[in-house]
Amino acid sequence: MNPIAIDRLRGEVLEKAGLSPEVESAVLHSWELSHTERLTTSDGPLIFKCATEPFTHEHDNLIAAWQAGVNVPRIQATTRAPTILGMLMEDLGTPTREASDADGIAAAIQLHSSAAPDFLAPGDTEWLRSLPSRALRSLHLLQSERWEDTDDITVTLQQIEKAAPARAEGATLRPFGWVHSEFHPESLIVTADGRPFMFDFARAFRGPGLIDLASWQGTVDAPDPDRMRALLETYIDEGGPSQTLHDRGGLPVQNWALGWHRVWVLEWFLDQALLWIADPAIDPAYQRVVRRHATEAASLLRV
């Protein structure tokens, strides 16, 4: 993000919180679309985060989650322009340890059982069915501008697109509601009292909670359906809905969840490459990620 914009937004949220703009700051994370700092203020440590589109509604999501009783950092002040957001938040401190599968399950159950606000973007069966087509549209635009030698990705996505109407069935079975969408151990902080808190709600939507549970594995390693199945079984044992293990779209639930998660991720990477970052220098990396996710999705969804 632009350093001038970061300084301006930091000053605005501190002023709204009644705090001096003269603070010590330590950068926690920074990339093209968002920036996060820990501030040392007269009120103690606080977290400052700013972001550009498409992450400019995270404050609404965090406030709604907090109001629903979800363990999230509390918003202290915000400033908003049409294409940029600044937030001042409660500092949850340094994690006492890395979040475990048990922490992830506890956090997922809490989120998925909480009331989801109506303003969240919808992610129903039709939305899921549309993902391959939307990915193909973005891919075709990239191919017309700069992506070469990616016809194999087109073929794989067309196969997924053809199967999507049947494979998307079951999207609205429980758990359905809040989807964190960036749900992995690095998005949880385990506090000193052992409670897992979630952050990074910028892409939250209303849809199948199985997307979160599939996200927990990450996408660096090959998808592991057996591990996914074990996680889902424990999720039910700890209080998740019994419908969780129902087959969907003619597939075992673990394949369905991991497969559609890959489609959802690759569609996002295509949008990053086309719209939000659009840097030809990193196109090869995006192409590798999209190709791998498309191949994994096709295998998992058995198309």
Average pLDDT of 214-235?
Answer: 97
pLDDT 10s digits, 86-136: 999 999 998 889 999 999 999 999 999 999 999 999 999 999 999 999 999
Tokens of 103: 């922490």
The CATH number of domain 3-90, selected from 3.40.470.10, 1.20.1530.20, 3.30.200.20, 3.40.630.10: 3.30.200.20
Cα(130)–Cα(201) distance, rounded to whole angstroms?
Answer: 23
For residues 194 and 287, the model is more confident at 287
Please answer whether residues 299 and 265 qualify as being in contact, where contact means their C-beta atoms are separated by less than 8 angstroms: no
Average pLDDT of 166-194?
Answer: 96
Cα angle value 47/52/57 (rounded, 5°): 70
pLDDT 10s digits, 122-171: 999 999 999 999 999 999 999 999 999 999 999 999 999 999 999 999 99
Instruction: Write down the pTM of the prediction.
Output: 0.96
User: What pLDDT shows up at residue 201?
Assistant: 97
pLDDT 10s digits, 235-273: 999 999 999 999 999 999 999 999 999 999 999 999 999
Average pLDDT of 196-212?
Answer: 97
User: What pLDDT shows up at residue 95?
Assistant: 87
Cα(249)–Cα(232) distance, rounded to whole angstroms?
Answer: 17
Region of 44 (left: φ > 0; alpha: ψ -120 to 50; beta: rest) is left
Q: Given a cut of 90, is residue 17 above it in pLDDT? A: yes
Average pLDDT of 176-188?
Answer: 96
**Average pLDDT value over all residues in the chain:** 97
Bridge partner residues of 177 (DSSP): 207
Element (H, E) at 61: helix 58-67
Q: Given a cut of 90, is residue 82 above it in pLDDT? A: no
pLDDT over 70 for what percent of the chain?
A: 100
Domain limits, the chain: 3-90, 101-300
User: What pLDDT shows up at residue 73?
Assistant: 97
What kind of fold does domain 101-300 have according to CATH? Aminoglycoside 3'-phosphotransferase; Chain: A, domain 2 (3.90.1200)
Average pLDDT of 184-191?
Answer: 95
pLDDT 10s digits, 62-77: 999 999 999 999 999 9
Element (H, E) at 121: none
User: What pLDDT shows up at residue 38?
Assistant: 98
User: What pLDDT shows up at residue 96?
Assistant: 85
User: What pLDDT shows up at residue 192?
Assistant: 87
User: What pLDDT shows up at residue 248?
Assistant: 98
